[in-house]
Copies of this chain bind each other. A is one copy, B any other.
Amino acid sequence: MDRLKVAILGATGIVGKELIRMLEKHPYFELDALYASRHSAGNSLQVDKDGLSMEIREADAEEINRQHYDYIFSAVSEQSATILERELRGMGNRIVTNASGNRMLPDVPIVVPEINFKEISNLNKGYILANGNCSTIGLVLGLAPVAEFSIKSVDVTTLQAVSGAGYPGIPSLDILSNVVPFIQGEEEKIVAETHKILDSRNRTKFRLTATCTRVPVVNGHLESVTVEFDSIVAFDEILDSFRLFKNKDLPSGLPTLPERPIILQDAKDRPQPRLDSGKPGKMDGMQVSIGRIRVTGNILQFVLVVDNLVRGAAGSTLLNAEVAATLGGQI
Interface residues, chain A, CB within 8 Å of chain B? 14, 153, 155, 157, 159, 162-163, 165, 167-182, 207, 209, 211, 213, 215-218, 222, 224, 226, 228, 268-275, 279, 291-292, 296, 299, 301, 303
Contacting pair B273 A217 (CB below 8 A) = no
- Shortest Cβ gap from A179 to chain B (Å): 5
Q: Which residues of B contact A167 (CB under 8 A)?
A: 171, 173
Q: Which residues of B contact A165 (CB under 8 A)?
A: 173
A176-B218, A180-B272, A274-B279 given. 7 additional CB < 8 A pairs? A168-B168, A171-B172, A172-B216, A177-B177, A179-B215, A211-B301, A279-B279
Q: Which residues of B contact A177 (CB under 8 A)?
A: 176-177, 216-218, 273-274
Contacting pair B211 A181 (CB below 8 A) = no
Contacting pair B168 A274 (CB below 8 A) = no
Q: Considering only CB atoms, which chain B residue lies closest to A272 in the complex?
A: B178
Q: Which residues of B contact A301 (CB under 8 A)?
A: 209, 211
Q: Which residues of B contact A303 (CB under 8 A)?
A: 181, 211, 213
- Shortest Cβ gap from A207 to chain B (Å): 7
